[in-house]
Amino acid sequence: MTNWRSRDKRFESVSAYYPGARLLRQDPLECLFSFICSSNNHISRIHGMVNKLCRRYGTKLVMVKQSESSARDAEHLFSFPSLEQLAEASEEELRKDGFGYRAKFIVGTVKQLREKTEGGTEWLAGLRSVPYREASSALMTLPGIGPKVAACVCLFSLDKFEAIPVDTHVWQAAVAHYRPDLEGKSLTPRLMTVVEDTLIERFGPHAGWAHNVLFLSELAQLKKKLPEKLQTPQKRKAKSPAKAKSPTKAMKKKKGE
Protein backbone atom coordinates (compact mmCIF):
# COMPACT_ATOMS: atom_id res chain seq x y z
CA MET A 1 0.00 0.00 0.00
CA THR A 2 2.93 2.33 0.69
CA ASN A 3 4.07 1.78 -2.89
CA TRP A 4 0.63 2.72 -4.24
CA ARG A 5 0.53 5.86 -2.10
CA SER A 6 3.89 6.98 -3.47
CA ARG A 7 2.76 6.36 -7.04
CA ASP A 8 -0.70 7.91 -6.89
CA LYS A 9 -1.83 11.10 -5.18
CA ARG A 10 -5.52 10.18 -5.27
CA PHE A 11 -4.88 6.85 -3.57
CA GLU A 12 -2.62 8.54 -1.00
CA SER A 13 -5.36 11.06 -0.20
CA VAL A 14 -8.28 8.64 0.29
CA SER A 15 -6.72 5.39 1.53
CA ALA A 16 -6.33 6.57 5.12
CA TYR A 17 -10.12 6.96 5.38
CA TYR A 18 -10.79 3.29 4.55
CA PRO A 19 -8.57 1.17 6.79
CA GLY A 20 -9.26 -2.54 6.83
CA ALA A 21 -10.67 -2.76 3.30
CA ARG A 22 -10.48 -6.40 2.26
CA LEU A 23 -11.09 -8.57 -0.80
CA LEU A 24 -13.01 -11.82 -0.63
CA ARG A 25 -11.72 -15.06 -2.11
CA GLN A 26 -15.05 -16.73 -2.66
CA ASP A 27 -15.89 -20.11 -4.03
CA PRO A 28 -16.08 -19.51 -7.82
CA LEU A 29 -19.56 -21.03 -8.21
CA GLU A 30 -21.05 -18.93 -5.42
CA CYS A 31 -19.28 -15.83 -6.69
CA LEU A 32 -20.50 -16.34 -10.26
CA PHE A 33 -24.18 -16.70 -9.40
CA SER A 34 -24.06 -13.94 -6.79
CA PHE A 35 -22.81 -11.51 -9.43
CA ILE A 36 -25.40 -12.68 -11.93
CA CYS A 37 -27.91 -11.56 -9.28
CA SER A 38 -26.09 -8.21 -8.98
CA SER A 39 -26.93 -7.07 -12.51
CA ASN A 40 -28.74 -3.68 -12.33
CA ASN A 41 -29.43 -4.27 -8.66
CA HIS A 42 -28.70 -2.85 -5.19
CA ILE A 43 -26.99 -4.56 -2.26
CA SER A 44 -30.02 -5.36 -0.09
CA ARG A 45 -31.89 -6.92 -3.01
CA ILE A 46 -28.82 -8.90 -4.11
CA HIS A 47 -28.49 -10.21 -0.55
CA GLY A 48 -32.14 -11.24 -0.61
CA MET A 49 -31.77 -13.10 -3.91
CA VAL A 50 -28.67 -15.00 -2.79
CA ASN A 51 -30.47 -15.86 0.44
CA LYS A 52 -33.41 -17.25 -1.55
CA LEU A 53 -31.09 -19.45 -3.62
CA CYS A 54 -29.57 -20.82 -0.41
CA ARG A 55 -32.88 -21.42 1.36
CA ARG A 56 -34.67 -22.99 -1.60
CA TYR A 57 -31.88 -25.08 -3.08
CA GLY A 58 -29.00 -25.24 -0.58
CA THR A 59 -28.31 -27.68 2.25
CA LYS A 60 -29.49 -26.88 5.78
CA LEU A 61 -26.44 -26.44 8.01
CA VAL A 62 -27.22 -25.51 11.60
CA MET A 63 -29.84 -23.77 13.70
CA VAL A 64 -28.59 -20.64 15.39
CA LYS A 65 -30.49 -19.28 18.37
CA GLN A 66 -30.63 -15.52 18.30
CA SER A 67 -31.79 -15.56 21.91
CA GLU A 68 -31.62 -18.15 24.68
CA SER A 69 -35.10 -17.24 25.89
CA SER A 70 -37.13 -18.36 22.91
CA ALA A 71 -36.81 -21.06 20.26
CA ARG A 72 -38.98 -18.87 18.05
CA ASP A 73 -35.92 -16.68 17.47
CA ALA A 74 -34.00 -19.57 15.94
CA GLU A 75 -32.78 -19.14 12.39
CA HIS A 76 -31.81 -21.92 9.99
CA LEU A 77 -28.65 -21.43 7.95
CA PHE A 78 -28.10 -22.95 4.51
CA SER A 79 -25.10 -23.55 2.31
CA PHE A 80 -24.89 -22.01 -1.13
CA PRO A 81 -26.34 -24.64 -3.48
CA SER A 82 -24.14 -26.89 -5.57
CA LEU A 83 -24.44 -26.89 -9.35
CA GLU A 84 -26.61 -30.02 -9.15
CA GLN A 85 -28.90 -28.38 -6.59
CA LEU A 86 -29.20 -25.23 -8.71
CA ALA A 87 -30.29 -27.44 -11.62
CA GLU A 88 -33.56 -27.97 -9.73
CA ALA A 89 -34.48 -24.32 -10.24
CA SER A 90 -36.68 -23.42 -13.19
CA GLU A 91 -36.92 -20.03 -14.82
CA GLU A 92 -40.60 -19.85 -13.88
CA GLU A 93 -39.87 -20.52 -10.19
CA LEU A 94 -37.08 -17.97 -10.08
CA ARG A 95 -39.24 -15.32 -11.72
CA LYS A 96 -41.95 -15.94 -9.12
CA ASP A 97 -39.28 -15.46 -6.46
CA GLY A 98 -38.46 -12.01 -7.85
CA PHE A 99 -35.30 -12.68 -9.87
CA GLY A 100 -36.78 -11.06 -12.99
CA TYR A 101 -34.78 -11.39 -16.20
CA ARG A 102 -31.85 -12.78 -14.20
CA ALA A 103 -33.80 -16.05 -13.89
CA LYS A 104 -33.06 -16.83 -17.53
CA PHE A 105 -29.34 -16.21 -17.01
CA ILE A 106 -29.19 -18.38 -13.89
CA VAL A 107 -30.92 -21.31 -15.57
CA GLY A 108 -28.89 -20.87 -18.77
CA THR A 109 -25.57 -20.68 -16.94
CA VAL A 110 -26.39 -23.78 -14.89
CA LYS A 111 -27.19 -25.65 -18.10
CA GLN A 112 -23.96 -24.61 -19.83
CA LEU A 113 -21.79 -25.43 -16.83
CA ARG A 114 -23.35 -28.87 -16.47
CA GLU A 115 -22.49 -29.55 -20.11
CA LYS A 116 -18.76 -29.01 -19.50
CA THR A 117 -16.84 -32.24 -20.09
CA GLU A 118 -14.76 -31.88 -16.95
CA GLY A 119 -17.72 -30.69 -14.87
CA GLY A 120 -18.87 -27.10 -14.38
CA THR A 121 -17.45 -26.63 -10.89
CA GLU A 122 -14.09 -28.03 -12.00
CA TRP A 123 -14.14 -25.85 -15.13
CA LEU A 124 -14.63 -22.72 -13.04
CA ALA A 125 -11.88 -23.68 -10.58
CA GLY A 126 -9.57 -24.38 -13.52
CA LEU A 127 -9.83 -20.73 -14.58
CA ARG A 128 -7.63 -19.89 -11.60
CA SER A 129 -4.66 -21.31 -13.48
CA VAL A 130 -5.05 -19.36 -16.75
CA PRO A 131 -4.22 -15.69 -17.50
CA TYR A 132 -6.77 -13.04 -16.59
CA ARG A 133 -7.93 -12.13 -20.10
CA GLU A 134 -8.38 -15.80 -20.97
CA ALA A 135 -10.44 -16.40 -17.82
CA SER A 136 -12.53 -13.30 -18.48
CA SER A 137 -13.24 -14.33 -22.08
CA ALA A 138 -14.22 -17.83 -20.94
CA LEU A 139 -16.68 -16.44 -18.39
CA MET A 140 -18.27 -14.20 -21.01
CA THR A 141 -19.35 -17.27 -22.98
CA LEU A 142 -21.92 -17.88 -20.22
CA PRO A 143 -25.41 -16.31 -20.42
CA GLY A 144 -25.68 -12.81 -18.96
CA ILE A 145 -21.96 -12.43 -18.21
CA GLY A 146 -20.49 -9.19 -19.51
CA PRO A 147 -17.04 -7.66 -18.92
CA LYS A 148 -17.90 -6.12 -15.54
CA VAL A 149 -19.35 -9.29 -14.00
CA ALA A 150 -16.49 -11.33 -15.49
CA ALA A 151 -13.97 -8.97 -13.88
CA CYS A 152 -15.78 -9.27 -10.52
CA VAL A 153 -15.67 -13.07 -10.62
CA CYS A 154 -12.00 -13.00 -11.66
CA LEU A 155 -11.03 -10.59 -8.87
CA PHE A 156 -13.11 -12.02 -6.03
CA SER A 157 -12.77 -15.75 -6.69
CA LEU A 158 -10.23 -16.60 -9.41
CA ASP A 159 -7.07 -14.92 -8.05
CA LYS A 160 -6.83 -12.38 -10.90
CA PHE A 161 -5.63 -9.50 -8.76
CA GLU A 162 -5.17 -7.16 -11.73
CA ALA A 163 -8.87 -7.40 -12.62
CA ILE A 164 -10.81 -4.15 -12.26
CA PRO A 165 -14.61 -4.24 -12.50
CA VAL A 166 -15.49 -0.95 -14.18
CA ASP A 167 -18.96 0.14 -13.08
CA THR A 168 -20.38 3.66 -12.94
CA HIS A 169 -18.53 4.41 -9.68
CA VAL A 170 -15.13 3.37 -11.03
CA TRP A 171 -15.87 5.11 -14.33
CA GLN A 172 -16.64 8.36 -12.51
CA ALA A 173 -13.41 8.12 -10.50
CA ALA A 174 -11.37 7.29 -13.59
CA VAL A 175 -12.72 10.22 -15.60
CA ALA A 176 -12.27 12.66 -12.71
CA HIS A 177 -8.81 11.60 -11.56
CA TYR A 178 -7.05 9.54 -14.26
CA ARG A 179 -8.59 9.94 -17.72
CA PRO A 180 -10.18 13.39 -18.10
CA ASP A 181 -9.98 12.87 -21.86
CA LEU A 182 -12.89 10.43 -21.50
CA GLU A 183 -15.22 13.15 -20.18
CA GLY A 184 -18.55 13.10 -21.99
CA LYS A 185 -18.08 9.63 -23.45
CA SER A 186 -20.39 6.68 -22.78
CA LEU A 187 -19.16 3.65 -20.86
CA THR A 188 -18.68 0.87 -23.42
CA PRO A 189 -16.83 -2.47 -23.21
CA ARG A 190 -13.94 -0.92 -25.14
CA LEU A 191 -13.64 1.99 -22.72
CA MET A 192 -13.93 -0.40 -19.78
CA THR A 193 -10.71 -1.97 -21.05
CA VAL A 194 -9.13 1.47 -21.48
CA VAL A 195 -9.91 2.36 -17.84
CA GLU A 196 -8.74 -1.04 -16.62
CA ASP A 197 -5.44 -0.77 -18.53
CA THR A 198 -4.92 2.76 -17.18
CA LEU A 199 -5.28 1.61 -13.57
CA ILE A 200 -3.18 -1.53 -14.10
CA GLU A 201 -0.42 0.66 -15.52
CA ARG A 202 -0.66 2.93 -12.48
CA PHE A 203 -0.95 0.30 -9.72
CA GLY A 204 0.65 -2.83 -11.18
CA PRO A 205 -0.29 -6.52 -11.00
CA HIS A 206 -2.40 -6.07 -7.84
CA ALA A 207 -4.36 -3.12 -9.25
CA GLY A 208 -7.64 -4.80 -8.28
CA TRP A 209 -6.72 -4.44 -4.62
CA ALA A 210 -5.98 -0.73 -5.04
CA HIS A 211 -9.18 -0.32 -7.02
CA ASN A 212 -11.14 -1.63 -4.04
CA VAL A 213 -10.20 1.45 -2.00
CA LEU A 214 -10.94 3.82 -4.88
CA PHE A 215 -14.31 2.10 -5.38
CA LEU A 216 -15.25 2.53 -1.70
CA SER A 217 -14.44 6.22 -1.90
CA GLU A 218 -17.09 6.62 -4.63
CA LEU A 219 -19.99 4.84 -2.87
CA ALA A 220 -22.63 7.27 -1.67
CA GLN A 221 -22.81 5.83 1.84
CA LEU A 222 -19.01 5.74 2.29
CA LYS A 223 -17.73 8.78 0.45
CA LYS A 224 -19.09 10.87 3.34
CA LYS A 225 -16.06 9.71 5.31
CA LEU A 226 -13.93 11.91 3.06
CA PRO A 227 -13.49 15.64 3.57
CA GLU A 228 -15.60 17.48 1.02
CA LYS A 229 -12.53 18.62 -0.91
CA LEU A 230 -11.61 14.96 -1.59
CA GLN A 231 -15.06 13.84 -2.70
CA THR A 232 -15.40 13.34 -6.44
CA PRO A 233 -17.91 15.96 -7.65
CA GLN A 234 -21.19 14.57 -8.93
CA LYS A 235 -21.65 15.17 -12.62
CA ARG A 236 -24.83 17.04 -13.45
CA LYS A 237 -27.00 15.39 -16.05
CA ALA A 238 -27.41 17.42 -19.19
CA LYS A 239 -30.84 18.95 -19.48
CA SER A 240 -33.02 17.57 -22.22
CA PRO A 241 -33.75 20.19 -24.89
CA ALA A 242 -37.27 21.57 -24.79
CA LYS A 243 -39.58 19.74 -27.17
CA ALA A 244 -40.82 21.86 -30.05
CA LYS A 245 -44.56 21.98 -30.53
CA SER A 246 -45.75 20.15 -33.61
CA PRO A 247 -47.49 22.31 -36.27
CA THR A 248 -50.68 20.30 -35.79
CA LYS A 249 -50.82 21.00 -32.04
CA ALA A 250 -50.00 24.65 -32.63
CA MET A 251 -52.84 24.98 -35.14
CA LYS A 252 -55.31 23.28 -32.78
CA LYS A 253 -54.32 25.63 -29.99
CA LYS A 254 -54.76 28.63 -32.23
CA LYS A 255 -58.24 27.51 -33.30
CA GLY A 256 -59.30 27.04 -29.71
CA GLU A 257 -58.16 30.50 -28.62
Q: Which residues are catalytic?
A: 148
**Cα gap 228→233, rounded to integer Å:** 9
Closest CA to 23 of 163, 136, 130, 182: 163
The neighbour count for residue 242, using CB atoms within 10 Å, is 6
Answer positive or negative: Cα dihedral of 86, 46, 167, 210.
negative
Residue 197 — φ and ψ, nearest 5°?
A: -65, -35
**Cα gap 35→206, rounded to integer Å:** 21
Q: Are 75 and 64 in contact (CB under 8 A)?
A: yes
- The DSSP secondary structure of 56-120, one letter per residue, reads HHS-EEEEEES-TT-GGGEEEEEPPPPHHHHTT--HHHHHHTT-TTHHHHHHHHHHHHHT-TT-H
**Cα gap 201→97, rounded to integer Å:** 43
Structural element, H or E, at residue 105? helix 102-114
Q: Are 194 and 175 in contact (CB under 8 A)?
A: no
* Max CA separation in the chain (angstroms): 78
Q: What is the bridge-based pairing of β-strands 74-78 and 60-65?
A: antiparallel
